[in-house]
C-alpha cells in the first residue's frame, strides 16, 4: 500500500468517526418545554373567560400543543410493566390514550391556577444528556411565594425528543400510576381497568 493510499484510508476513518460523534451530540430539550409552555399559557390567558365556563377548552389547548411532545405508548408500557408484554397492540393503544387523557386533564386544570407564564421557569440544563432519559427541570412560582418543582423526562426517538414522564415535587407520574394500576390489573384484569379508565370510573391519585 502506498503512502497516499494509507493517508486516504486514515482520512476516511477519521471522517467516519467525526460523523458518528456529531450524530451523537444532542441538544438538551429545554427549548421544547419553553416554547410549548409559553404557547399553551398564552392561549389559556386569551381564552380564560371562556375556559371558566367550559374547562374542556383548556384540555383541547393542552392536547393540541403538548400531545405531539408525548411518547404515550412508551409511557403506557412503563406503567403496565410486565403486563405490557401480555397485552395486545389494541389494548396497549387504548390504555395509552386513556392514561394520556387523564394526564392532560389534570395538567390543564392545574394551569388555570396560574395568572402569568412568568410563574413557570425552565431551569438551566446541567449535567449530561442521556438519550434514554433526560429531565428538563422547571419550577412554578406559587401564590404563597414558594415554588413547586415539575420535571419533564425526555427520551430521544426516531421523531426527536419525546416526554415519557412528568415528575411533580419528586413524585413520578409513571411510578405513581404504575403502583395503582398494578393492583387494579391484578384484581380485575387489564380489559376491566381500560374500561374503567375510559369511562372515568377509575379514580387514580397523583
* Residue 106 burial (CB count, 10 A): 17
Closest by CA position to 168, among listed 132, 137, 122: 137
| Model confidence at 81: pLDDT above 60 | yes
pTM (predicted TM-score): 0.80
Provide mean pLDDT across the span 89-97.
Answer: 95
For residues 76 and 115, the model is more confident at 76
> Would you place residue 116 in the very low, low, confident or very high pLDDT band (cuts 50, 70, 90)?
low
pLDDT of residue 117: 66
Residue 203: alpha-carbon gap to chain centroid: 21
Which fold, 28-199?
Nuclear Transport Factor 2; Chain: A, (3.10.450)
Backbone angles phi, psi at 164, to 5 degrees: -125, -10
Domain ranges of the chain: 28-199
Report which of residues 186 and 154 the model is more confident about: 154
Amino acid at each position: 500500500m502506498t503512502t497516499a493510499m494509507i493517508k486516504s484510508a486514515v482520512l476516511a476513518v477519521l471522517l467516519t468517526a467525526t460523523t458518528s460523534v456529531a450524530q451523537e451530540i444532542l441538544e438538551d430539550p429545554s427549548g421544547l418545554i419553553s416554547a410549548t409552555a409559553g404557547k399553551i399559557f398564552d392561549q389559556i390567558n386569551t381564552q380564560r373567560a371562556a375556559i371558566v365556563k367550559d374547562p374542556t377548552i383548556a384540555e383541547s389547548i393542552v392536547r393540541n400543543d403538548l400531545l405531539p411532545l408525548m411518547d404515550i405508548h412508551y409511557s403506557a408500557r412503563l406503567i403496565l410493566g410486565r403486563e405490557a408484554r401480555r397485552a395486545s397492540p389494541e389494548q396497549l393503544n387504548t390504555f395509552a390514550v386513556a392514561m394520556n387523557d387523564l394526564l392532560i386533564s389534570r395538567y390543564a386544570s392545574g394551569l388555570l391556577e396560574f395568572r402569568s407564564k412568568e410563574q413557570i421557569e425552565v431551569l438551566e440544563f446541567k449535567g449530561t444528556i442521556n438519550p434514554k432519559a433526560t429531565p428538563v427541570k422547571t419550577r412554578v412560582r406559587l401564590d404563597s411565594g414558594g415554588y413547586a418543582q415539575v420535571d419533564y423526562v425526555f427520551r430521544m426517538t426516531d421523531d426527536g425528543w419525546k416526554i415519557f414522564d412528568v415528575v411533580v415535587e419528586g413524585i413520578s407520574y409513571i411510578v405513581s400510576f404504575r403502583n395503582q394500576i398494578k393492583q387494579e390489573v391484578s384484581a380485575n384484569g387489564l380489559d376491566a381497568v381500560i374500561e374503567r379508565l375510559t369511562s372515568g370510573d377509575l379514580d387514580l391519585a397523583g
